[in-house]
Amino acid sequence: MGFEKRKDLLGIKDLSREEIEQILDTAVPMKDILKRDIKKVPTLRGKAMVTVFYENSTRTRTSFEIAGKYLSADTVNLSVSTSSVQKGESLKDTIRTLEVMGFDLMVIRHSVSGTPHYVARNTGIRVINAGDGANEHPTQALLDMFSIREKKKTLEDLKVAIVGDILHSRVARSNIYGLTKFGCEVRVVGPATLIPPEVEKLGVKSYYSLDKALKGVDVINVLRIQRERQQKGLFPSLDEYSELYMLRPEHLKKAKEDVLVLHPGPMNRGVEISSEVADGSQSVIEEQVTNGVAVRMAILYLMMGGTKDEIIN
Amino acid sequence: MRLLIKGGRVIDPANKVDKVLDILVENDKIVETGQNIYAEDCINIDAENKLVCPGFIDIHVHLREPGFEYKEDIYSGTRAAAAGGFTTICCMPNTEPVADNKSVISFIKEQARDKGVVNVLPIGAITKRQQGQELVEIAELFKVGCVALSDDGRPVVRADIMRYALEYAKMFSLPVLSHCEEPALSQDGQMNEGFYSTYYGLKGIPAAAEEIMVARDIILAKLTGAHVHICHVSARGSLELIRRAKEEGIKITCEVTPHHLTLTDEIVGSYDADTKVNPPLRSKEDVEVLINALSEGIIDCIASDHAPHHKEAKDCEYSAAAFGISGLETSVAVTMSLVHQGKIGLSDWVALNTIGPAQVLGLDKGTLNKGRAADITIIDPEMVKKVDPTKFYSKGKNTPFKGMEFKGWPWMTIRGGRIVFEDGKIKA
């Protein structure tokens, strides 16, 4: 326990195992709410949150927004393309403006690592990091861990492979920080140019061969590959990337029989994941989205103050 | 006017002096150094328990004037220098307009004469507008008083242009100060590449970006026989290249900054842009090698790379922030911590701030010889103080040392026989 005492959620790095468990435990009854016919609960009535996205996103932003709405918080989306950011307003001024409008919580995504930390230092409002550069994407890792725990009944000592562009991936980093706290063996696999320097010091094993990396794993988390990486010369072609790293049904045979396949979305079918795998029986990709709403409800609920009883009753 | 500096521990490494002596200054010259000097009609300075050194010299300073007076100007920058214990500073040419012609250099010299409180020696650009394409009029810059050439802030990417610059500068014995960075490798980088760039998710600048250019410039120095000075060495690989070049007798000198000697890339995790500097703060291993090289004679001088910025340039997202540290007012205290920790000898440290930089640029400074200009830095080695940027004379408050406590601070700065800084205050 103790997550509810934090002002901000900036990264998994800072969280204890107990705090992660607290969030995941709280998300369980939240998921039940999502199954109800009438999903709205009054818990956060009178609280206001704003999502501020300096990078494109559909699912994360929508997920936060609907999570807030189900809990009866007032949610506003600041769309960067139409706000005064275009007029050259500094981030600090934008944040100050939102603060004096009376928001209780801000969800921020930014292409520059550390920006949520900078924002959190400069405002009294609670801040949730919805993805900063190549640093962290804590709510994604939490929903991934929720999805894994739900199916595997535990997070402890699992073998998890993360496939693709590890270098630029905040999803990979947050997953690494979270899963290693539960004793998982985390393996990262991708082309040498997309494996960050000294990654083993994060407590993971790194591989170039997909087959080797997948041997005996419980979970495969496939990352989205961005086309612009190829344009920057990090790998020769998308075709070659797919040849080496696209997850296909035959790869799953290397893993444990009950292996789970995750993907943070949006998917490039036929590039990093084949449709057979994405739509196959091992895939929990769609359920991840549902779990994302539940986990974000749990986080909003804990951060904006409610008690567990309120939810259950 | 006469000054009598009494009873201080005089450290003059060029003359191998380290003992308690008096120094008599008349007008702008040192007239006598010795024990129990008696003189009438003079200002007595009680320097007991203080270190009396030749005026400190910082050969790598950005004064920002003309063009960026909102970051720093010659008035504020020279006061920051005096408060930092420096009597002579060399200013880099990346101003607006660039100091690549006689008019800008003359303007800087005039401003320094009218508004400055320490000696300002201008450095001219290597290439016009620092674009790396055409040489500046080197003979003219030499004539008007430039002490060196540099495109600092950016490398001279074209090896042919660098070669011609070295050959041409050699005619005037002008050292070329090289900012070593291979831009294709450093592009978009925010911090040192290594474990911490992985851990903090910021794009790294590999040590190789520096080392490749150091290697190139050593080879060009060998080819041309010219003197290349490597600015702000940060990577241990660069030092190894420099050590071998020196052993081979190639005319290579180098400097290291206080921040590269004392801070590592670990502190970038605060995402406080005051930690953002180019070259970036490196790994613990690099810092250890840099410190060892100080006493091995591989490093010729300490230079602050004073890079003041206005608040908005640092108070923002990390990758939007400017590179640079405001260093003049902390250089002495920060590097003296290495003396207190026993990592470098006191006399070596003074040499790295005095005769060392003077020799790099061939300046007639850096000693307490009789007849020399009375540029003297007096340090209180026991003074303990926290770094408080709000009290800086520099307009640039950007320092990663803010709030840190150091022992050993400048106590008095005498430039040309005039006290310009005393006990925390500028006197001019």
Distance from the Cα of A223 to chain B's closest Cα (Å) equals 16
Average pLDDT, chain B: 97
Cβ distance B194 to A113 less than 8 Å, yes or no, reads no
Strand, helix or coil for residue B403: coil
B405 bridge partner residues:
B386
Task: Give CATH for domain B55-361.
Answer: 3.20.20.140
Residue B1: pLDDT band (50, 70, 90) is confident
Closest CB to A202 among B198, B315, B316: B198
Cα–Cα distance list, B10 to A300, B31, B35, B55 (Å): 65, 15, 11, 12
Q: Give the closest-approach CA distance of A305 to chain B in angstroms.
A: 27
pLDDT of B328 above 50? yes
pLDDT of residue B31 exceeding 50, the answer is yes
* DSSP H/E element including B122: strand B119-124
What is the per-residue pLDDT across A208-243, written as a single tens digit (0 to 9) for each? Answer: 999 999 999 999 999 999 888 888 899 999 999 999
Among chain B residues, CA nearest to A170: B201
Neighbour tally for B244: CB within 10 Å: 14
Mean pLDDT of A6-15: 96
Measured CA to CA, the distance from residue B290 to residue B192 in angstroms comes to 15
Chain A CB contacts of B202 below 8 Å: 113-114, 133-135
CA quadruple B403, B409, B415, B417: dihedral, nearest 10: 140
Distance to chain A for B343, nearest Cα, Å: 29
A90 touches chain B (CB under 8 A): yes
Is residue A92 less than 8 Å (CB to CB) from chain B? yes
Q: Do A91 and B318 touch (CB under 8 A)?
A: no
Average pLDDT in the B258-271 region?
98
Residue A309: its pLDDT value, please? Answer: 52
Of the candidates B193, B197, B316, the beta carbon closest to that of A90 is on: B316
Q: List CB contacts of B103: < 8 A, sequence separation 6 or more.
A: none
Quick check: B317 and A117 CB within 8 A? no
Read off the pLDDT of residues B159-207 as tens digits, 9 standing for 90 and up.
999 999 999 999 999 999 999 999 999 999 999 999 999 999 999 999 9
Q: Residue B305 catalytic?
A: yes
Candidates B196, B200, B311: best to mutate against A (most CBs of A within 10 A) is: B200
pLDDT digits (tens, 9 = 90+) for A105-160: 999 999 999 999 999 999 999 999 999 999 999 999 999 999 999 999 999 999 99
Q: Could you read off the pLDDT of A255-300 as tens digits, one per residue?
A: 999 999 999 999 999 999 999 999 999 999 999 999 999 999 999 9
Asked whether B221 and B250 are in contact (CB, 8 A), the reply is yes
**Residues B305, B278: contact at Cβ < 8 Å?**
no
Distance from C-alpha of A83 to C-alpha of A78, rounded to nearest angstrom:
7
pLDDT at A89: 81
Structure tokens at B409: 């601070």
- Please answer yes or no on whether A196 and B315 come within 8 Å at the CB atom: no
Please give the angle made by the CA atoms of B189, B192 and B197, to the nearest 5 degrees: 85
d(CA A146, CA A290): 11
What is the pTM assigned to this prediction?
A: 0.94
Where does CATH 2.30.40.10 sit in chain B? Answer: 2-51+373-385+402-426
Beta strand B86-91 with B56-61 is parallel
Contacts with B194 from chain A: Cβ below 8 Å = 197-198
Residue of B nearest to A117 (CA): B271
* d(C-alpha B253, C-alpha B125), whole Å: 19
Quickly count: other Cβ atoms within 10 Å of residue A197's Cβ.
Answer: 16
pLDDT value for A232: 87
Averaged pLDDT score across all residues of chain A:
93
| Residue whose entry in the numeric block shows the structure tokens 């340090």 | B379
- pLDDT over threshold 80, residue A306: no
Question: Where in chain B do CATH 3.20.20.140 domains reside?
Answer: 55-361
pLDDT band for position A313 (cuts 50, 70, 90):
very low
CATH topology of domain B2-51+373-385+402-426: Urease, subunit C; domain 1 (2.30.40)
Q: Which backbone phi and psi does B358 adopt, to 5 degrees?
A: -60, -40
Of chain B, the end-to-end C-alpha distance in Å amounts to 16
- Give B42: exposed, middle or buried? Use CB within 10 Å, 0-12, 13-18, 19+: middle
Task: Extract the tokens encoding B49.
Answer: 């328990």
Q: Which residue of A has its CA nearest to B197?
A: A197
Which residues on neighbouring strands pair with residue B176, listed in sequence order?
B149, B228
User: Of these residues, B73, B274, B305, B380, which one is catalytic?
Assistant: B305
